[in-house]
Structure 1
Amino acid sequence: MTEFDRLLAEAARKPLVGWDLSCDGRIATTAVPWDFERAVVHRARQSPDLLDMGTGGGEWLGRLPLRPARTVATEGWAPNVAVARERLAPLGIEVVAVEGALDNGAQHDGDAHDDAPLPFADGEFHLVVNRHESFVPAEVARVLARGGHFLTQQVASDFNADHYRLAGLAPAEPPPEWQLDIARRQLERAGFEILRAEAGAELLRFADVGAFAWYLKNVPYVCPDFTIEGTRDALAQLHRRQQAGEAIAVRQTLFWIEALR
């Protein structure tokens, strides 16, 4: 078996557990221009509670250096709920299974027409955090107390152009547009005041073609048409280029917002 075949075979059988996308350290992410964690910790120092929307396997929340006494997480993907509960329960964090919200780009300015209400009382939280999870702005506003803060970091709708290019695939029909200006408009329509907002990009570097194939296999919303066998020729070319010294890297566009209820 060649090194290329070994890498692809490993990518095909290696599972994703929780939401750890590092592939055992073979995928590295450069920092975006802002420090989202620092902004969250700053607000957490002043808040009696925190709701983390879309916690994944609880990896990020579990590592957060400071959390309010009452911290709650939601998760919409059933396999991750059990993983998150196992990780976060020893920290005193409740994980609530929820129905995922409609993609924000398809929400028509964030109207609360989605059938995924948050299972919390009006004004129950003073700080709501959301990393890369869709949300209904009116629902976030409902569960936030007056004067509460909403911090979200989102992946823009055009984030996956480099992934398609490296996989040798033609981009699928573009998803509904989701950019900083649209997010601002949705939140303002729901009654939020925007305190800070910024767009930027991060770079994902893959140590080898196997890590790249593993990532696309396990994060299917990036390239829905991707299969390892169906892109084998493109992956082989990518492997040869990487062996010759060319880095395997993709640029992903993101943005973040801090909003006041």
Structure 2
Amino acid sequence: MSEFEALLEEGASAPVEGWDFSWFEGRATEERPPWGYAELLAERYRTAGSALDVQTGGGEVVAWALHRASQRASQRAARTAGRAPSPLAATESWEPNVALATRALAPFGGTVAHVADEDPLPFGDAAFDLVSARHPVVAVWPEIARVLRPGGTYLAQHVGVGSAHEVTEAMLGPTPVGQGRHPDTAAADARAAGLEVRDLREVKLRMEFLDVAAVAVFLRKVIWIVPGFTVAAYREQLRALHERIQAEGPFVAHSTRYLIECRKPHRSDSG
């Protein structure tokens, strides 16, 4: 079996459930945003009475942040600020991830609802102090605003415009960069839903793929980069990319991320 065939087989068979990216260690790298989203989320969990994470994946980020929040609380504070929010809920659209997230959040008393990304949230009005999301496929702003309590916070890290576009073009050829994920659009939609935008930051980050198997697993896992991607359907494009990596070294791409934090105002707030 050639090296390319072996890498292709590995890329087609690696598991892609959840948002655990440890498989990529030694095979791909990506810079991390400077604001440290998981740490910010842990800080919010220390004071939130109730919390919802939308499109949670396998629940890994939420579980890490909850564990971190409890670690950072003193024994005295752990009885109050260090406890997990209650209720603690999450939504997820992909059924294999629902099972992963349920196991991840059960130790914290969390529940996971199987909900399509664009569907209404199955919770009552003003149910949560905190709504969070890491890399949601879509932000349904009216629903986020509806389930937030007055004074509540939406904290999220979204994928920005043209993220990993170099990978898209390696598979599809020259492709226009859509503007649907622009942070200014998100901020405008949040305001239209009645939320105040408190923080909005964007960053461009370097990615490196050291072999073609890493590219294949990335595209199987992050399905919006090349919709409908399969290793078999893109075999020749993957071969060309393999030869490029062999000749030139790691394949370089760039991801974009933005942090957005919003607050639902009290009715008595002016403006």
Query: How does the TM-score come out when normalised to structure 2?
Result: 0.82
Shift of 1:55: 0.8
For residues 50-91 of structure 1, give each alpha carbon's deviation from its aligned partner in whole angstroms, at most 9, with x where no partner exists. 211111011111111126332221112222111211222133
Number of the residue aligned with 1:48 = 49
Q: Contact between 1:160 and 1:223, CA under 8 Å: does it hold in 2?
A: no
Q: Contact between 2:165 and 2:225, CA under 8 Å: does it hold in 1?
A: no
The runs of at least 4 consecutive aligned structure 1 residues that moved more than 6 Å come to: none
For residue 89 of structure 1, the aligned residue among 106, 109, 115 is 106
Letter in 1 for 2:109: G
Instruction: Give the distance between the partners of 1:259 and 1:192, measured in 2 at CA.
Output: 6
* Matches for 1:81-120 after TM superposition, within 5 Å: 81-101=98-118, 116-120=119-123
Number of the residue aligned with 1:256 = 259
Shift of 1:244: 4.1
The alignment covers a number of residue pairs equal to 246
Range with bigger deviation, 127-136 or 221-230: 221-230
Number of the residue aligned with 1:220 = 223
Instruction: Give the distance between the partners of 1:163 and 1:149, measured in 2 at CA.
Output: 34
Number of the residue aligned with 1:147 = 151
Q: Contact between 1:123 and 1:145, CA under 8 Å: does it hold in 2?
A: yes
Shift of 1:118: 1.0
Q: Contact between 1:168 and 1:231, CA under 8 Å: does it hold in 2?
A: no
Distance 1:213 1:122, change over 3 A: same
Instruction: Give the distance between the partners of 2:107 and 2:43, measured in 1 at CA.
Output: 24
Number of the residue aligned with 2:11 = 11
Letter in 1 for 2:168: Y
- In structure 1, runs of 5+ residues without a counterpart are 102-115
SS in 2 for 1:81: helix
Shift of 1:225: 5.2
Number of the residue aligned with 2:72 = none
Instruction: Give the distance between the partners of 2:148 and 2:98, measured in 1 at CA.
Output: 23
Distance 1:176 1:255, change over 3 A: same
SS in 1 for 2:23: coil
The Cα RMSD (Å) is: 2.2
For residue 97 of structure 2, the aligned residue among 80, 85, 104 is 80
Shift of 1:238: 2.6
Instruction: Give the distance between the partners of 1:42 and 1:29, measured in 2 at CA.
Output: 24
Instruction: Give the distance between the partners of 2:223 and 2:260, measured in 1 at CA.
Output: 26
Query: How does the TM-score come out when normalised to structure 1?
Result: 0.85
Q: Contact between 2:91 and 2:112, CA under 8 Å: does it hold in 1?
A: yes
1:158 equivalent in alignment to 2:174:
no
Distance 1:168 1:124, change over 3 A: closer
Instruction: Give the distance between the partners of 1:164 and 1:44, measured in 2 at CA.
Output: 36
Letter in 1 for 2:131: V
SS in 2 for 1:214: helix
Letter in 1 for 2:201: E
